[in-house]
Chain A
């Protein structure tokens, strides 16, 4: 059963040797074995064809990127001239987005998983939550974009009026003094990150649940038997034991937010901009410009996949190379995050044995 290609040769020999004079039966067996072999080749072909597609895809993208592939691509912002167009704004936009998405989705996601796996009893409401989660995972991300546009963006618009409009409330007077140098935009990073949080949350919860499920129940029982409370058991035994799996799964599912463009476009994120959130265009400024760091989450943004979308639809064919270079940067970012996740799993699981 394990090795491919050898199609029950023993049975062939056993059956065909004594009855070889019956040519009809022999032909039927030969035909069946031939059919089996053809089928195995078809299945193998189909499987490896999908891998070939991956190689063709990467080759085509690298091939298309000649003409713009250079290091200054990640140092320069977008431009109407394809020779100078770069991805700096998108890189920083995606950085802030994924930072806040992780900040929102990891506590809530792991918390829900802990509740569903460790605390919840099988009640109607818990079953409702579970069914609901599996259905939410299938909701197209663009629908979350509509939700984000209608709820989060409107909320940001209200805040904007509070902070820099004429109708500022008295209670807000204190904040207005401090914040009047920090303009709030309706389509800001936080709105984008909240929307992306809703997009990735079902997968974050599912992967955390899976890691919690793989913790042996003897650990819980032993801890409870020694007099620990339920929360002490969860916090000191179950979560540390599940941590390698949780962190890998959570990193991988949160990183999917980097490739999401549709919900952000629905929010009205900028497609053509040279502006970097908070004007922080180098990692050094994260430390040297604290006021700008404060400003960044409330600033407008673009993101890597949005810029790629915009370059792909340009009629000027020179932008093809720009889009392809952008894709290479995006894929490198995603690949490095995957690598980090693998390293985390490797190091975190070294201490654990059972």
Chain B
């Protein structure tokens, strides 16, 4: 029959076209991520920097200089509004620094312990446990900071020294954010520590090194850039952390570096401002975009630097 040949030819033809179609669809899926980034940047820019159309962007009303150097953050409509981001930056920076003070020693210690000391079975138990710690939602940590760490741990300690600790304070927020990012540092650092060639360790042991010498003088220096990248990533995570610091850090935007006081962070402000009901194009609403673009720029910069360090490190060992 003459139809014998046609279906096979036709099906191959269709199949090739199918193939192209499917590949195009999959490409679109992957390209969606680029679109997302473009949309984020576009949305932030058109509301913060320059707005086409009837709306007025934030920086068309408030000068960049005032925004970056102003010491007062009072995001209200009308003449009383003050839009200096320094207080929010102080809050964010304090939380991130305290979080780093908690998470860097803890994460690095855990990474060294898991890769250099722990038996394989112990490691198999520790890793999922740390993942559970990382999987607990941010609101839970906020609750833990506000209702447990502040009243039951920090309050008794600081009352011994007769220091005044507020109910909302940056210290408790920083501590829980530190706990949250510890697993991140631990797992990233462990990866780079484990990828340090075994020959380096064996050579050090052969020269009579103790385990401490091997860990601290050989392995950690060899993995240093990777560890640094992990620290940076954790720092940027702490800067962007939202619910825990909103709950535990309070809602007062004050330019202070005292961790015993409450201080609003950039993320805390954004949550607070979006729960209020201000008009869509009012300046108090537009200030969310200005703070958002600042937050985005800071975290993106840190992430890019961290990725760059990590890539350079990988090249060295391949």
Contacts and interface: CB of A to CB of B under 8 A. Distances in A.
Most central of A36, A50, A330 by chain B CB within 10 Å: A50
B30 A120 contact: yes
B19 A312 contact: no
A129 interface: yes
A57 B136 contact: yes
Contact of A32 (B44, B132, B210, B275): B210
Contact of B148 (A39, A64, A262): A64
Given A2-B119, A36-B210, A261-B243, A331 B136 contact: yes
A236 to B, nearest CB: 13
A63 B105 CA distance: 30
Interface string A130-146: 01111110111111111
A340 to B, nearest CB: 14
Nearest to A15: B208
Contact of B242 (A126, A141, A320, A331): A141
Interface in B9-68: 15-16, 18-19, 22-23, 25-27, 29-34, 36-37, 39-40, 43-44, 47
Contacts of B143: 61, 308, 312, 323-324, 327
15 contacts: A43-B113, A50-B182, A51-B126, A111-B26, A132-B33, A135-B304, A143-B295, A205-B33, A230-B23, A259-B135, A259-B137, A262-B242, A267-B274, A271-B275, A309-B243
Interface stretch (B69-77, B156-164, B232-240): B232-240
Given A50-B106, A146-B292, 17 more contacts: A2-B119, A7-B210, A44-B117, A45-B109, A49-B106, A50-B133, A53-B133, A108-B29, A129-B33, A135-B37, A140-B240, A140-B267, A142-B240, A146-B40, A146-B288, A147-B36, A262-B246
B114 interface: yes
A261 B138 contact: yes
B242 A3 contact: no
A43 B208 contact: no
Contact of B212 (A35, A47, A108): A35
Contacts of B226: none
Interface residues of B, number: 92
B110 interface: yes
B292 A47 contact: no
Contact of B267 (A139, A262, A330): A262
Contacts of B247: 309, 312-313
Interface in A254-290: 256, 258-262, 265-268, 271
A231 B18 contact: yes
A109 B23 CA distance: 14
A151 B39 contact: yes
A308 B139 contact: yes
B289 interface: yes
A153 to B, nearest CB: 10
B113 A266 contact: no
B299 interface: yes
Given A2-B120, A129-B33, A33 B179 contact: no
Interface string B252-291: 0000000000000001001100110000000000001100
Contact of B140 (A32, A61, A129): A61
A46 B137 contact: no
Contacts of A140: 239-242, 267, 295-296, 299
B135 A266 contact: no
Contact of B139 (A50, A142, A261): A261
B22 A231 contact: yes
A312 B146 contact: yes
A309 B211 contact: no
Interface string B165-189: 0000000000000010011001000
Interface in A12-56: 15, 32-33, 35-36, 39-40, 42-47, 49-51, 53-54, 56
A349 interface: no
Closest 3 CB pairs of A and B: A140-B240, A259-B137, A46-B109
B303 interface: yes
B212 A136 contact: no
Contact of B299 (A138, A150, A230): A138
Given A143-B295, A229-B15, A231-B22, A262 B271 contact: yes
Nearest to B250: A313
A334 interface: yes
Interface string B93-136: 00000000000011001101110111110100010011011011
Nearest to B112: A43
A190 interface: no
